[in-house]
C-alpha cells in the first residue's frame, strides 16, 4: 500500500476488498469449502476448519483495528472528476 500513485482512496479500496475477501473465506470455511486454500487438501478437514476460521476472524479483527474504517465516498469526485458535472437533471 505504498508506492507511486498510491493515496488514501486507493488504499481504502484495497482494504475494503481485503476485508470482504476474508469475510467470504470465513463463510466458505464454515460451509466446509477449502478450495481457496489448495494446500489443505492433504489435511484432516474437520480438524483444520476451526483453526482457519479462528485465524481469519483474528485477521479481520486486527485489520479493522490497525486500519479504522473511513468513509471516502465524499471524495469520489477526485477519482472521477467529471461525474458530478454530468447530471441527468441538466438534460431535462
Domain borders along the chain are 8-91
Predicted pLDDT of residue 57:
95
Contact (Cβ atoms closer than 8 angstroms) between residue 70 and residue 12: yes
User: For 48-80, what is each residue's pLDDT tens digit?
Assistant: 888 889 999 999 999 888 887 777 777 777 777
Q: What is the pTM of this model?
A: 0.69
Sequence-ordered list of residues with C-beta below 8 angstroms from that of 34, at least 6 positions apart, any chain: 40, 41, 45, 49
Q: How far apart are the first and last CA of the chain?
A: 43
Amino acid at each position: 500500500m505504498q508506492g507511486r500513485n498510491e493515496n488514501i482512496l486507493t488504499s481504502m479500496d484495497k482494504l475494503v476488498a481485503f476485508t470482504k475477501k476474508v469475510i467470504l473465506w470465513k463463510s466458505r470455511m464454515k460451509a466446509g469449502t477449502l478450495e481457496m486454500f489448495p494446500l489443505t487438501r492433504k489435511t484432516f478437514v474437520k480438524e483444520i476448519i476451526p483453526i482457519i476460521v479462528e485465524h481469519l476472524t483474528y485477521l479481520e479483527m486486527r485489520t479493522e483495528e490497525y486500519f479504522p474504517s473511513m468513509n471516502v465516498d465524499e471524495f469520489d469526485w477526485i477519482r472521477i472528476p467529471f461525474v458530478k458535472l454530468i447530471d441527468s437533471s441538466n438534460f431535462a
